[in-house]
């Protein structure tokens, strides 16, 4: 894995991990995930970051994003933590820190590793045995990147766009990455219609 990033480089993608305080749950209902994704999109626009992949797990999130200016990713994550924590406190009448104060950020080499990072993020629910196949999990970018589901939050990275000349060929090439035998405990990918959403 890449080394932690101290300074953001504009235009260079980052793999960001944000964990709940003491690894405690941060999402308690589907509506919590919906609200988080709305704020993620708003904060990404406000702080000039492009989001390429994501997954929301019960106690943490993974994001692949590219900041357009120094400090943008840090600003995005700070705003996101504050908005979501305030919502959770008000909704569930709780008090106390929800998220760790600091997030982890690792530089992602632009090239094939960026695609593997996307795959790593979207396979999180499979590795955690929440679902058997990534298309069954509602709270990730897999359905958009691999199956063509509309997701206004995402901005495709140039490396992903280079997978094919059109959306269909790009999605097919991206799906092929999930058949890679080096994938950890990855079952054959279902290319049929995804099953109903499961709670995170």
Percent share of the chain, pLDDT over 90: 74
Q: How much is the pLDDT for 131?
A: 95
Three-class SS state of 152: coil
Q: Is the pLDDT of residue 197 over 50?
A: no
The model's pTM? 0.86
pLDDT tier, 182 (very low <50, low <70, confident <90, very high otherwise): low
Q: How many whole angstroms from its chain centre is CA 73?
A: 14
Q: How many whole angstroms from its chain centre is CA 139?
A: 9
Q: Which residues contact 91 (CB under 8 A, 6 or more apart)?
A: 32
Q: How much is the pLDDT for 169?
A: 95
Q: How much is the pLDDT for 42?
A: 97
Average pLDDT over residues 147-163: 96
Residue ranges of the domains in the chain? 14-177
Residue pLDDT, tens place only, 53-93: 999 999 999 999 999 999 999 999 999 999 999 999 999 99
Q: How much is the pLDDT for 2?
A: 42
Task: Tell me the average pLDDT of the chain.
Answer: 86
Q: How much is the pLDDT for 110?
A: 82
Q: How much is the pLDDT for 112?
A: 77
Q: How much is the pLDDT for 22?
A: 82
Q: Residue 37: which H helix or E strand, with range?
A: helix 30-46
Q: How much is the pLDDT for 34?
A: 97
Residue pLDDT, tens place only, 94-144: 888 899 988 999 999 887 789 999 999 999 999 999 999 999 999 999 999
| CA–CA gap between residue 186 and residue 146 (Å, rounded) | 15
Query: Domain 14-177, what fold?
Result: Alpha-Beta Plaits (3.30.70)
Answer whether 180's CB lies under 8 Å from 187's CB: no
């Amino acid at each position: 894995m890449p080394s932690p990033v101290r300074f953001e480089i504009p235009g260079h993608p980052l793999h960001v991990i944000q964990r709940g305080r003491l690894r405690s749950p941060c999402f308690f209902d589907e509506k919590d995930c919906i609200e988080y994704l709305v704020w993620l999109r708003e904060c990404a626009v406000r702080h000039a970051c492009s989001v390429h992949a994501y997954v929301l797990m019960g106690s943490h999130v993974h994001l692949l994003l590219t900041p357009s200016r120094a400090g943008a990713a840090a600003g995005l994550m700070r705003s996101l933590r504050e908005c979501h924590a305030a919502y959770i406190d008000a909704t569930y009448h709780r008090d106390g820190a929800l998220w760790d104060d600091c997030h982890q950020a690792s530089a992602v080499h632009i090239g094939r590793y960026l695609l593997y990072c996307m795959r790593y993020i979207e396979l999180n629910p499979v590795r955690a045995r929440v679902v058997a196949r990534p298309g069954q999990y509602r709270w990730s970018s897999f359905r958009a990147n691999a199956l063509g589901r509309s997701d206004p939050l995402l901005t495709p990275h140039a490396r992903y766009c280079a997978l094919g000349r059109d959306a269909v060929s790009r999605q097919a090439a991206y799906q092929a990455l999930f058949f890679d035998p080096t994938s950890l405990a990855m079952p054959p990918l279902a290319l049929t219609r995804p099953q109903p959403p499961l709670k995170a």
